[in-house]
């Protein structure tokens, strides 16, 4: 469906076109697309005007400047998530994705760690959280992405973290941008 009309919890009638440009390089479809939602038959669309406004602010205030600063397209791997989708994929109960305030991305043509480090070092980028995330999968290449969020209303904390999940499910979090070796020895990583 290219457009949809909903009545939100606040009573507003909302009509959004998924091809709508939220900013010069990001569309509503791009920030709501989910293979899991499609497979489960979920309408992963903002339910409130504020969620749509948050996505627009995220695209304009953080994603566009990040794209420009990195001089690279950003491949969005996760943006807005309805509560059901967030639960299905194991997202945090208070995930900013559910408010339209967060996106996960991979920079095209750049190392993910370099992109995270570059963006974290910039005082001019108004992010709430920037998390360099790594996930090991047995027999597969290490998955890496950047989680970035922005609060349209209220202050942005500029919190910078690195999150690592091992193939056995163990999770570790560190302040700042850290390399894989901070969490596992090179021998452990090569053995996986």
List, in order of start, the domains of the chain with CATH numbers: 3-191 (3.30.1380.10)
DSSP 87-101: HHTT--TT-GGGGT-
CA distance 129 to 110: 20
Paired residues of 165 in beta bridges: 135, 171
pLDDT tens track, the chain, 192 positions: 344 444 445 555 566 677 889 999 999 999 999 999 999 999 899 989 999 999 999 999 999 999 999 999 999 999 999 999 999 999 999 999 999 999 999 999 999 999 999 999 999 999 999 999 999 987 788 999 999 999 999 899 999 999 999 988 899 999 999 999 999 864 455 555
pLDDT in tens, 55-97: 999 999 999 999 999 999 999 999 999 999 999 999 999 999 9
pTM for the whole thing?
0.88
């Amino acid at each position: 469906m290219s457009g949809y009309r909903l009545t939100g919890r606040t009573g507003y009638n909302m009509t959004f076109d998924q091809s709508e440009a939220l900013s010069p390089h990001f569309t509503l479809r791009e920030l709501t697309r989910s293979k899991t939602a499609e497979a489960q038959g979920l309408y992963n669309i903002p339910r409130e005007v504020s969620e749509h406004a948050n996505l627009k602010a995220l695209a304009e205030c953080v994603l566009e400047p990040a794209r420009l600063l990195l001089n690279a397209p950003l491949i969005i791997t996760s943006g807005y998530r309805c509560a059901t989708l967030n639960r299905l994929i194991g997202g945090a109960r208070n995930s900013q994705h559910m408010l339209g305030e967060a996106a996960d991305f991979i920079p095209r043509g750049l190392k993910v760690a370099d992109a995270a480090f570059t963006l974290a070092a910039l005082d001019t980028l108004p992010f709430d959280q920037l998390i360099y995330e790594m996930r090991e999968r047995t027999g597969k290449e290490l998955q890496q992405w950047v989680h970035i969020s922005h609060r349209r209303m209220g202050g942005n904390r500029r919190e910078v973290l690195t999150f690592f999940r091992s193939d056995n499910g163990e999770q570790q979090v560190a302040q700042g941008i850290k390399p894989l070796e901070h969490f596992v020895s090179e021998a452990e990583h090569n053995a996986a």
